């Protein structure tokens, strides 16, 4: 019996090289956006990274791009208040969305971020896939499901990327994957494949690069 939402297999040599070359090229910060009016023209494919604060999003973006400080990691979850655009060569954007689920930001700031997030996810024609980051230690939380439901309603395909895989023991994998698969079964926009990653150990990074490179 084939399990729903299997773990993505390692890329073949050709796919791995295509992914490597994409991220070995120019990867630059373009701009931070605080309102929909500030978005760049939707003239190229874009993918976005979304996740709870403290899920390891900045670390993963830095690992995937091979740049140590492209995305700013912070000891204060929720510091990123903008939609940050990065160029991948001349044909793609990588988009870092504001973290969600943070507890320390003022209510008015949280509401503003949430409104911007919803507007972006529901109104960006060039957005091909959202990568929803889920901490391997905690699985999918209710706040993650809120974003997934929004993506369902917006008809935006999303793929779950499990972060910090090095922080759990192999014996815990089965329970994690069972929980994630059960939750994702309720979401029609979920891409039927999971990516297991560790920014610290480099696990899954080549896989994620080849996936992004293959999105047309």
C-alpha distances (whole Å) from 16 to each of 9, 20, 90, 115 are 12, 6, 20, 37
Residue 140, CA atoms < 13 Å, CB-side half-sphere: 22
Residue 95 pLDDT level (bands cut at 50, 70, 90): very high
pLDDT tens string 166-215: 999 989 999 999 999 999 999 999 999 999 999 999 999 999 999 999 99
pLDDT tens string 31-82: 998 889 999 999 999 999 999 888 999 999 999 999 877 776 544 444 557 8
List helix spans (H) across 34-141: 57-65, 107-123
Rounded distance between C-alpha atoms, residue 143 and residue 204, angstroms: 24
The token duo for 161 is: 């990327």
Tell how many helices (H) and how many strands (E) occur in the chain. 6, 7
For the entire predicted model, the pTM comes to: 0.92
pLDDT tens string 115-158: 888 889 888 989 999 999 999 999 999 989 989 999 999 999 99
One DSSP character per residue, 142-159 reads HHHHHHHHHHHHHT--EE
């Amino acid at each position: 019996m084939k399990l729903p939402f299997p773990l993505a297999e390692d890329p073949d040599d050709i796919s791995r090289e295509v992914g490597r070359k994409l991220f070995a090229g120019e990867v630059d910060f373009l701009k931070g956006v605080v309102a929909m009016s500030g978005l760049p023209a939707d003239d190229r494919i874009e993918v976005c990274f979304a996740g709870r604060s403290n899920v390891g999003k900045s670390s993963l973006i830095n690992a995937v791009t091979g740049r140590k400080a492209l995305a700013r990691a912070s000891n204060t979850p929720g510091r990123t208040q903008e939609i940050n655009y990065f160029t991948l060569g001349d044909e793609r954007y990588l988009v870092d969305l504001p973290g969600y689920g943070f507890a320390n930001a003022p209510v008015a700031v949280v509401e503003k971020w949430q409104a911007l997030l919803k507007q972006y996810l529901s109104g960006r024609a060039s957005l091909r896939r959202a990568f929803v980051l889920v901490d391997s230690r905690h699985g999918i939380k209710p706040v993650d499901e809120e974003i997934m439901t929004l993506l369902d309603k917006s008809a935006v395909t999303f793929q779950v990327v499990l972060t910090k895989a090095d922080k759990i023991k192999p014996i815990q994998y089965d329970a994690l994957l069972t929980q994630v698969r059960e939750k994702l079964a309720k979401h029609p926009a979920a891409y039927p494949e999971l990516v297991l990653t560790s920014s610290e150990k480099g696990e899954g990074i080549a896989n994620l690069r080849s996936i992004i490179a293959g999105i047309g």
